[in-house]
Amino acid sequence: MINELRVHDLGVIADVDLVLEEGMTAITGETGAGKTMIVDAIELLLGGRFDPDMVRSGSTEAAVEGRFFHDSNETVVRRILPKGGRSRAFINGSLTPLAELAGFGSSLVDLHGQHAHQSLLAPTEQRRALDHFGEIDLETLLRLRGEIRAIDHRLEELGGDDQLRSRELDLWEFELREIDALNITSPDEDEELASEEDRLAQAVSLRESAVRAYEDIVGTDAKGARDLLGSAINALGTHDALSGFVERLRGTIAELDDLCADLRRATEAFEEDPARLEEIRERRSHLARIKKKHGDSLSGVLAAREVLRDRIESAKSGDERRRSLLGERDSLVEKMLLEEQRIGDLRRRAAPSLAKQVEARLHDLGLTRARIEIDLADTGLADDVAFLLNANLGEPALPLSKVASGGELSRTMLALRLVLSSGPSTLVFDEVDAGIGGEAALAVGRALRELGREHQVIVVTHLAQVAAFADNQLVVVKDEHDDRTLARVEAVEGDDRVSELARMLSGHPDSENARRHAAELLRLVVADHRVPR
């Protein structure tokens, strides 16, 4: 609720500090005194649109400040409104964006009448009101939607579309088969094959060189190195002085014999194998291609093989998880559609009853020809709810946001609040009594007082029949001071209140007849208040 409201240099108001009580408060005063400016101040505190012309003449800026109590917390809201430039908003002393201020205010205060802050004009609030009236529980639907969103999030984490995932899996499996088909024996296989290929390619040349070396040692047509060494031994003879050389030559001959045996074996080993050579070359060609695709070495290819195996395994397990999630999602969607249909049916059943009760309230409030329609879909969830009003015979029913008359709209909002008994803690009504009088005015006053039992109700009224029902009455008085018009606000009770009601009834606060009527009106209200309803 609004506990205190301060207004400075706004319109005809120079400086006003109001303490607002619980229950119903009526704001009254002569035409032009500045009553509506109080409502304008509240609207500005809720983030309403500001017109620089609202700043009091001669002032550079206006200021509006309010103290709110909600959920056992106190919040102070202030808005500075300069003649030129943009306004500034503060919540508990901290500079606040206007959108945040509007969000804060909309949860605490509803303005009904010619102003823009009626929450029940919003389609979402109208749907919420219908659900509240029909006692429709949305918990199961919201839970199902939340579970579906969670599954969708997990599906996103598992990857993109099915076709892309299938193509990726096919490619990975093909590349793995390609590597496995080569049956790579070791990371060094290509180097070992290169050595073997080199040996096979040089087999003829190697064998010829080994044979020639063998023949040079053992001799063929001419004497070989071995024979020449034997001749050298014979030349040395049996001279004891040269025996050391003889022994050394004999050792050399023995080494040549060993060398010749090795050369003979080598010539036998270096055999040509064209088929093996072609096989090696083809194998190395395959290995070179696979290295180009997966790395510069066979070790890189083998590492890529393990990566592919992990990807394939993960993809296949992901597909299984995806199929499981999709099945779970289908089941939840089926349940959600059934729940939406159930809620839609409940809404369609509740709508005529709500419309009928609001109509009955509107008739009591003086709109005797008013008709309320609640438009919603014939099937499904019926999430798009629209309250329509036909206030005059022969006219089409229009959405509440398009109702031209502030009085009609304000009384419709009052009727809705009476039926719904819900909404923000503070309700402000302006022009609620437009175009009515007599018994209808009493009905409006009685309805506002009833609403004041559960909400703080602030109403700007010209009718004594409405003001008399208020728990508190504030009078806006216009004075002239130093050739300037000023507005002040004062609380009235007792004789002062009788005088104000007399003024509202006759225009003459001192008229004895008017004062008797005012006092009688207050007594009737007290008596009416004692009658249980």
pLDDT digits (tens, 9 = 90+) for 184-218: 888 888 888 888 888 777 776 777 777 788 777 77
β-sheet bridge partners, residue 65: 6, 78
Statement: residue 116 has pLDDT above 60 = no
Domain boundaries, the chain: 188-296
State the Cα torsion 313-319-325-326 to the nearest 10°: 180
Strand pairing category for 61-70 and 386-390: unpaired
Query: Pick from 496, 419, 489, 421: which is nearest to 452 by CA?
Result: 421
Place of tokens 């007599």: 438
DSSP-based three-state secondary structure for 396: coil
CA distance 244 to 173: 77
Q: How confident is the model at residue 221 (pLDDT cuts 50, 70, 90)?
A: low
The phi and psi torsions of 397 (rounded to 5 degrees) equal: -75, 135
The phi and psi torsions of 362 (rounded to 5 degrees) equal: -65, -40
Statement: residue 434 has pLDDT above 90 = no
Q: How confident is the model at residue 118 (pLDDT cuts 50, 70, 90)?
A: low
pLDDT score, position 529 = 62
pLDDT score, position 113 = 61
Statement: residue 290 has pLDDT above 50 = yes
Q: Mean pLDDT over residues 447-472, rounded?
A: 91
β-sheet bridge partners, residue 16: 7
For residue 212, the tally of other CB atoms under 10 A from its CB is 12
Amino acid code (one letter) for 83: K
CA distance 160 to 163: 9
CA distance 258 to 137: 105
Statement: residue 117 has pLDDT above 60 = no
Poorest-pLDDT segment among 367-371, 436-440, 458-462: 436-440
The first and second tokens of residue 113, run together, are 């009448």
Asked if 377 and 417 count as a contact pair (C-beta separation under 8 A), the reply is no
CA distance 448 to 23: 9
The first and second tokens of residue 429, run together, are 């009504």
The first and second tokens of residue 431, run together, are 């022009």
Q: What is the mean pLDDT of the chain?
A: 85
Asked if 22 and 49 count as a contact pair (C-beta separation under 8 A), the reply is no
Q: pLDDT, tens digit, for every residue of 252-282?
A: 888 888 888 887 777 766 667 778 888 888 8
Strand pairing category for 386-390 and 371-375: antiparallel
- Which is more confidently placed, 405 or 444? 444
- Residue spans of beta strands (DSSP E) within 328-381: 371-375
- Which is more confidently placed, 240 or 69? 69
DSSP-based three-state secondary structure for 244: helix
pLDDT score, position 162 = 66
Query: Pick from 398, 414, 396, 172: which is nearest to 293 by CA?
Result: 172
Q: How confident is the model at residue 404 (pLDDT cuts 50, 70, 90)?
A: low
pLDDT score, position 475 = 93
Task: Encode burial over 58-93: b for 16+ CB neighbours within 10 A, e otherwise.
Answer: eeebbbbbbbbbeeeeeeebbbbbbbeeebebebee
Find the radius of gyration of the CA atoms of the chain.
51
Calculate what percentage of the chain has a pLDDT beyond 70.
94
pLDDT score, position 358 = 92
CA distance 316 to 172: 11
Helix axes 225-236, 203-218, angle to 10 degrees: 20
Q: pLDDT, tens digit, for every residue of 19-50?
A: 999 999 999 988 777 788 888 899 898 888 88
Q: What is the DSSP string of 252-314?
A: HHHHHHHHHHHHHHHHHH----HHHHHHHHHHHHHHHHHHHHH-SSHHHHHHHHHHHHHHHHH
Statement: residue 149 has pLDDT above 70 = yes
Q: pLDDT, tens digit, for every residue of 473-518?
A: 999 988 877 767 778 889 999 999 999 999 998 888 888 999 999 9
DSSP-based three-state secondary structure for 159: coil
pLDDT score, position 216 = 79
Query: Pick from 402, 413, 321, 325: which is nearest to 361 by CA?
Result: 413
